[in-house]
Copies of this chain bind each other. A is one copy, B any other.
Amino acid sequence: MPISRFVEYEEAPPEVRAVYDDIMATRGIDWVNNFWKAIAQHPPTLKRTWESLKEVMADGALDPMVKEMIFVAVSATNGCDYCINSHTAAARKAGMTDAMLQELLAVVAMANETNAMAAAYQVELDERLREAARRA
């Protein structure tokens, strides 16, 4: 620890197994990916993180594919390889095509460029945009 030491199902205490079971049931798969097995070293972190993620990523006003693409966008911005891959996989499973992924990555790259420009030029916010951002 913190270098990934995985808690395998066989050796896991009951509260960890319960989360693993819920992950597999929710996703309809029969295995648990390394992220969960790594943070399972601290069972309360495992439980809290899984429950939060399950709630946040559930179908709602946005569909799950869009949510997974947003996750990829943040992960690419932060340079998190694990997260880019795991959420790209999830987005594909939810229907993202190659063409969608390519456009997603183009937007992410462009956003990182214009974010740097706005910071560098220290652009003052237009009152009209402030109002438009606030209003539904």
Interface size on A, residues (CB 8 A): 88
Whether A70 and B116, one on each chain, are in contact in the complex, defined by CB atoms closer than 8 angstroms, is: no
Closest residue of chain B to A66 (Cβ to Cβ) is: B66
Question: Which residues 70-90 of A have a CB within 8 angstroms of B?
Answer: 70-89
A117 proximity list for chain B (CB < 8 A): 35, 39, 45, 49, 105, 109
Whether A60 and B108, one on each chain, are in contact in the complex, defined by CB atoms closer than 8 angstroms, is: no
| With known contacts A62-B100, A78-B112, A118-B83, A134–B3 Cβ distance under 8 A | yes
| With known contacts A62-B104, A70-B69, A71-B107, A82–B118 Cβ distance under 8 A | yes
Bound together, the chains give a CA A124 to CA B57 distance in angstroms of 23
Give the one of A41, A77, A92 with max B CB within 10 A: A77
A56: min CB distance to chain B, Å: 5
| With known contacts A35-B114, A78-B77, A4–B121 Cβ distance under 8 A | yes
